[in-house]
Amino acid sequence: MQQRPLDEAAGTRVSALTLGAMPFGTTVDEETSFAILDRFVEAGGTTIDTANCYSFWVPGGEGGESESVVGRWLADRGGRDRLTIASKVGSGLGADGGAEGLAPEVVRTQLEGSLRRLGVDHLDLYYAHREDRVIPDEETLAAFHQAVTDGTVRSLGASNHTAWRLAETRALAERRGWTPYTAVQQRYSYVRPRPNTTLPEGGHVHASDELLDYVHSHGLTLFAYTTLIWGAYSRPGQPLPEHYDHPGTDRRLRALAKVSEELGASPVQVVLAWLIGGTPTVVPIVGVSSVAQLDECLAAADLELPRELRRTLDEAV
């Protein structure tokens, strides 16, 4: 699988596909999680996405299960230095029942917890999982920069941030000589929600055209989540969620069906190839619950979309 630089200064790299570890240890049992991780690495994947809070909302979940499973897998299989491990802070449950946010002490203590559960001495990428507009950015960014200075984090990322907040926080970091966010993680796929719809999934922020433009013009890396719309592209009995219901979706699904047929590839594979080879280049995070689903996704990493078929997909709006 192809690798690309994530952050030249830190020497971090990412594989064309990232493996989403969110369900590991809750809805996906440990044995299956290990098999998925093994297969991903065997296929040349190097980048794993988790978070301190995965997955507290699942019945019986507390948060931390995903990192713990990845940690036990790393301890058993080794090879940590060949991997790019990303985790996040900010969306865990706070004392008041809302999000924990990005206060400096939260960043520090949650980072310690993530490192402990993963059994590693550093994260390759650490994200602010969502915006915190209460805590001054100066305080959050100083705490993140301190982690980079301490060597417990290599590169920083922002997830679920609006374009203007991303630009503002990066400018502030630059003024202070601190490490800026170089990775962005946002919800993004081939079909898009209706304009101005609020996504029902708390905290999810969709990549706007402005954000895509910012990422491209500043050479940042965009990681996209919920790229597979939870399997809706390939399961006839699973309709797209209601907020995707608009005429542009019908046009996109028709284009997707046409291109899939012409290429002899599945819709899932075409969507992933469209993301990987587009502008800006996207690193799709694939969430899977079986090795068979992963195998279907892995084939997309080498799928080249001929120019005219990419145009067919792009022009369906």
Interacting residues toward ligand NAP by CB under 6 A: 20-22, 49, 159-160, 185, 203-204, 225-231, 234-235, 268, 285-289, 293, 296-297
The 10 Å Cβ neighbour count of residue 88 is 26
To ligand NAP, the closest distance from the beta carbon of 237 in angstroms equals 11
SS3 263: helix
Name which of 7 and 49 has its Cβ closer to ligand NAP.
49
Backbone conformation region of residue 63, classed left if phi is above 0, alpha if psi is from -120 to 50, else beta: left
Q: How many CB atoms lie within 10 A of CB 246?
A: 14
Closer to ligand NAP by CB, 57 or 230: give it: 230
> Residue 121 CB: number of other CB atoms within 10 A?
9
Identify which of residues 153 and 229 has a Cβ nearer to ligand NAP in the complex: 229
Nearer to ligand NAP, 205 or 309 (CB): 205
Contacts with 293 (C-beta within 8 Å, 6 or more apart), sequence order = 231
Which one, 145 or 187, has the nearer CB to ligand NAP?
187
Between 204 and 310, name the residue whose CB sits nearer to ligand NAP: 204
- Could you give the maximum distance between any two Cα atoms of the chain, in Å? 54
Q: C-beta of 19: minimal distance to ligand NAP in Å? A: 8
CA–CA dist 56, 94 (Å, integer): 12
Strands 3-7 and 12-15: antiparallel
- Minimal distance in Å, beta carbon 300 to ligand NAP? 9
Q: Which is nearer to ligand NAP, 197 or 293 (CB)?
A: 293
Residue 139 CB, nearest distance to ligand NAP (Å)?
22
CB of 266 to ligand NAP, least distance (A): 7
Report DSSP state, residue 224.
E
Angstrom distance (rounded) from CA 315 to CA 317? 6
CB of 175 to ligand NAP, least distance (A): 27
HEC-encoded secondary structure of 75-120: HHHCCHHHCEEEEEECCCECCCCCECCCCHHHHHHHHHHHHHHHCC
Check residue 299 and report its DSSP letter: G
Is 111:147 a contact under the CB 8 Å cutoff?
yes
We find the least distance from the C-beta atom of residue 187 to ligand NAP, in angstroms, to be 7
Q: Which is nearer to ligand NAP, 103 or 158 (CB)?
A: 158
Instruction: Give me the least distance between CB of 31 and ligand NAP, in Å please.
Output: 15
Joined together, the tokens standing for residue 283 give 């690193």
Quick check: 174 and 180 in contact, CB under 8 A? yes
Distance CA 138, CA 142 (A): 6
For 87, the token pair is 């985790």
Q: Which residue is nearest to ligand NAP (CB)?
A: 20
Q: How far is the CB of 247 from ligand NAP (least distance, A)?
A: 23
| Residue 138 or 208 having the CB closest to ligand NAP | 208
